[in-house]
Amino acid sequence: MTSPAPARRVRNQVQLIAYADRLGGSLPALGRLLAGPLAGLFGGVHVLPFFDPYDGADAGFDPVDHLAVDPRLGDWADIRRLGRGLDVVADLIVNHVSDRSREFRDVVERGDRSPYAPMFLTYDRVFPGGATERDLVRITRPRPGLPFTPMVLGGRRRLVWTTFTGHQVDLDVSHPTARRHLDEVLRRLAGNGVAMVRLDAVGYAVKTAGTSCFLTPETMAFLDEIAGRARELGLEVLAEVHAHRRFALAAAHRVDRVYDFVSAPLLLHALFTGDAAPLREWLGRRPGNCVTVLDTHDGISLVDAGPGPERGDSGLLSARQVAALVQTIDRNSGGTSRVSTGPGGGPYQISCTAYDAVGRDDRRYLLARLVQLFLPGLPQVYYVGLLAGGNDPGALPAGDAREINRRRYAEAEVAEALRRPVVRGLTRLIRLRTTHPAFGGDFTVGEALAGELRMAWRAADARAELWVRFSAGAYRLTLSGHGAAEVLTDS
């Protein structure tokens, strides 16, 4: 393994989010696409889990071996090659490993006699004296039900902590054995050309009796520690916090980047209703170190923009507005979208491609992307969104609604999709955001009428100004710099 590279800042350019097995089919194929038909569009690529195996219970987010690249996709040399020309983002799956991992299988066989037993969480490790009903219902989980799976460990029936699925066994990140595991993964990523590490599910990593077990003070202390270690190794840190927006705001100053999952539902609400007030309100609050997304492998967020659990928090979007957004997306997608519910029973996220969410309307789709690319932060574009892909209802029998937005594209299919007018339009916008010098300067939000939004970037003599009237789906983009000026409209 090579030594970690010196720390460097991730470049201020658009990034691609992609599964290696679903965009080209392998890491070398993904590299060929980025160096060929996609050349010049992106400054970085978030390669979704490529660890062994990439096709487990949760599409790679349940690694059996977090230190190994799945040989069906390639090897660490392929990751290093990607990192020579692009900022590579990779996942540190903080909260859990697969129940098929070597370490956990040893615990299944030997129970507490296994040296790996302290690495994993069981019910009694968190609640040695037992738990009350109140203790259990307070636990936050992104899915219905309690986060425990009965398993036999060393001949004894136990309750193993499984926040996500019964095949994803939670780590006890307070124990040195688990911390050594996470540190080894960080060193492997840093030593193979990764520029930024995404802390997956970090909000669930620390379980403290009598709390929600989600982004508690103890979790924040752990976040500080793991982020500090990543930075020592030359890695920037992106925290994945998918919940009510107050949690992302609380985490933002502790890491280099935090996701803005809030803007996507606000932007779609503005497109569908002409009401830009919630989006403008959020622009006055959101942290400046965001990664901006319109769509991801998990779908389109809802909970981040909706009402909070505290009394009086009606949300940037009210419960009624969230319900209307869900109905509009369902209608636009021909009834193929799927809504996931959160721990409180309300809408959590919606599984739908961004293109289907706007009814495959090229004009509205490109406007949504233009606004996303204009927002402060580091823009990421999901591979299905890049190719203006539609929902894949045939994926639903697999049981995971998110699969509807995880199409597979062979290299030839990518080339065909890139010829479509809507995709050509999007690649022009991405190239503009990646290359125009104004986006390296200062951002301002201007005064606008109720259904409008005005934003501007300025750096020296370079300027980019965007005016949007959502009710009409109209915009005017003014660009200047290097002695040239250009005005683009929706026509």
How far apart are alpha carbons 68 and 63 in whole angstroms? 9
Query: Looking at this protein, which amino acid is placed at residue 480?
Result: S
Active site residues: 200, 240
| Nearby residues of 230 by Cβ (< 8 Å), 6 or more positions away | 92, 186, 190, 197, 236, 237
How far apart are alpha carbons 157 and 393 in whole angstroms? 39
65 — phi, psi (to 5°)?
Answer: -135, 100
Reduced 3-state DSSP string for 302-328? CCCCCCCCCCCCCCCCCHHHHHHHHHH
DSSP 3-state of 183: helix
CA-nearest of 293, 374, 380, 366 to 41 is 380
How far apart are alpha carbons 46 and 73 in whole angstroms? 15
- Under 8 Å between Cβ of 396 and 358: no
| Nearby residues of 58 by Cβ (< 8 Å), 6 or more positions away | 164, 165, 167, 168
Query: Looking at this protein, which amino acid is placed at residue 31?
Result: G
- 289 DSSP assignment: S
Distances (CA, A) of 82 to 13, 20, 442, 469: 16, 12, 30, 40
How far apart are alpha carbons 419 and 387 in whole angstroms? 10
How far apart are alpha carbons 123 and 121 in whole angstroms? 7
Residue 74 CB neighbour total at 10 angstroms: 20
Dihedral, 18, 22, 26, 32 alpha carbons, nearest 10? -60
**Do strands 452-459 and 338-341 pair parallel, antiparallel, or not at all (unpaired)?**
unpaired
258 — phi, psi (to 5°)?
Answer: -140, 145
How far apart are alpha carbons 182 and 304 in whole angstroms? 28
- 294 DSSP assignment: S
| Nearby residues of 412 by Cβ (< 8 Å), 6 or more positions away | none
Angle between helices 263-273 and 319-332 (to 10 degrees): 70
Query: Looking at this protein, which amino acid is placed at residue 229?
Result: R
How far apart are alpha carbons 98 and 53 in whole angstroms? 10
